[in-house]
């Protein structure tokens, strides 16, 4: 098994997790290897991780293409038949590798063969259960989710969870059969962050691979998105991911309806933010409106492209004197006057330059 950890600006978490995995002895014994993929994090790298260590490899990417690109880099660096994908903020028990490989033995002994994707149980730092399994989104479900608390929107309630087949599992702690990954060509790198695991599970199911939830293994996940406030930049990225998922995996009419709804939301909430003097929030909603428009026009706006839009909106607000708070841990600089073609768009796409006053 290869344990793949994708990092951007979270070296302390990565060092803690790697130390825990290496300290178990299961890596040194050859039961697993650890692959850390760094998405061009700024600042110094920890020397301890860069020293030659049995069972540990560090892949340094030249740019941050997002979570999917990082996972794919780990997949390409590995030759193991199974990949355990972990977020840096996972707290692993000393016997995690042994427990997961034990489950792999059980999967491979099934008459019908092993599953393609497996999600394990997540817990909060206080030991309470953390949601990690969801139902494939659609237009009706997405509209209904706006009426329930944000921390429960994407996921199935705990009382409905059972071990066995599910629609999708979170990428924070996800075991992937390499044969399935090879069959799918890896994760979709058009997603910069979020919904990439939903897309992976949907594509796997369509190609006949089972997606399962297995609570026999559990880990602590420290900082899930649903428990944190959404920054202006992250708002642009998450709306892009949802719209992109609808465009790629659902009927066109559902994508058009969602796009219209997102543009209406962006204009109304942007106007409210401007009236209250919240410049960063208002500009992020303008960027959301533009993302929805570009995707609706058929522009292939990939992960790097939407990151450029999100960064540009935040930087423009900073120039106007509004404090932005801590920077989100995702790389990519949007220039004050971005290039005529966004990173992450197809070469055949007509570029739409970013204007200082927001989308046309």
What domains sit in the chain, N to C, each tagged with a CATH number?
2-227 (3.90.550.10), 229-360 (no CATH)
Q: What is the mean pLDDT of residues 120-139?
A: 92
Return the residue matching tokens 């044969």.
Answer: 179
Percentage of the chain with pLDDT > 70?
84
**pLDDT at 149 > cutoff 90:** no
What tokens were used for 263? 């543009």
pLDDT tens per residue across span 258-313:
999 999 999 999 999 999 999 889 999 999 999 999 999 999 998 888 888 888 87
Q: What is the mean pLDDT of residues 84-106?
A: 96
**pLDDT at 360 > cutoff 50:** no
Residue 162: pLDDT band (50, 70, 90) is: confident
pTM score, whole prediction: 0.84
Nearest to 211 by CA among 114, 134, 108, 115: 115
What pairing do the DSSP bridges indicate for beta strands 56-60 and 133-134?
A: unpaired
Determine contact, residues 291/243, Cβ cutoff 8 Å. Answer: yes
pLDDT tens per residue across span 171-211:
999 999 999 999 999 999 999 999 999 999 999 999 999 99
Determine contact, residues 86/3, Cβ cutoff 8 Å. Answer: yes
Q: How far is CA 172 from the centre of its chain?
A: 8
Q: Is the dihedral of CA 289, 331, 20, 227 positive or negative?
A: negative
Q: What is the mean pLDDT of residues 68-87?
A: 96
pLDDT tens per residue across span 207-266:
999 999 999 999 999 988 766 777 888 899 999 999 999 999 999 999 999 999 999 999
């Amino acid at each position: 098994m290869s344990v793949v950890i994708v990092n951007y600006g979270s070296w302390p978490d990565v060092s803690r997790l790697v130390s825990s995995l290496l300290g178990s002895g299961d890596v040194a014994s050859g039961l697993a290897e650890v692959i850390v993929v760094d998405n061009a994090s700024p600042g110094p790298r920890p020397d301890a991780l860069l020293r030659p260590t049995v069972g540990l490899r560090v892949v340094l990417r030249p740019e941050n293409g997002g979570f999917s690109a990082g996972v794919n880099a780990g997949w390409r660096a590995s030759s193991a038949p199974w990949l355990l994908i972990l977020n840096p903020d996972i707290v692993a028990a000393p016997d995690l590798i042994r427990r997961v490989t034990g489950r792999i033995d059980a999967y491979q002994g099934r008459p019908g063969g092993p599953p393609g994707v497996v999600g394990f149980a997540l817990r909060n730092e206080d030991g309470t259960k953390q949601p990690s399994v969801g139902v494939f989104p659609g237009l009706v479900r997405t509209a209904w989710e706006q009426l329930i608390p944000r921390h429960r929107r994407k996921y199935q309630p705990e009382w409905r969870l059972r071990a066995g087949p599910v629609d999708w599992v979170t990428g924070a702690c996800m075991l992937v059969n390499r044969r399935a990954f090879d069959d799918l060509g890896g994760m979709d790198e058009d997603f910069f962050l979020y919904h990439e695991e939903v897309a992976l599970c949907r594509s796997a199911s369509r190609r006949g691979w089972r997606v399962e939830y297995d609570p026999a293994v559990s880990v602590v996940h420290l900082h899930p998105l649903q428990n944190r406030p959404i920054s202006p930049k992250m708002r642009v990225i998450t709306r892009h991911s949802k719209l992109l998922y609808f465009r790629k995996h659902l009927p066109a009419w559902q994508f058009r309806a969602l796009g219209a709804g997102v543009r209406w939301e962006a204009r109304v909430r942007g106007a409210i933010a401007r009236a209250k003097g919240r410049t960063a929030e208002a500009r992020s909603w303008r960027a959301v409106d533009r993302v929805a428009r570009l995707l609706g026009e058929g522009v292939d706006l990939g992960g790097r492209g939407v990151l450029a839009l999100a960064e540009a909106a935040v930087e423009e607000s900073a120039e106007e004197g509004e404090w932005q708070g801590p920077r989100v841990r995702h790389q990519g600089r949007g220039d004050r006057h971005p290039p005529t073609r966004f990173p992450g768009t197809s070469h055949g796409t007509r570029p739409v330059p970013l204007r200082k006053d927001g989308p046309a």
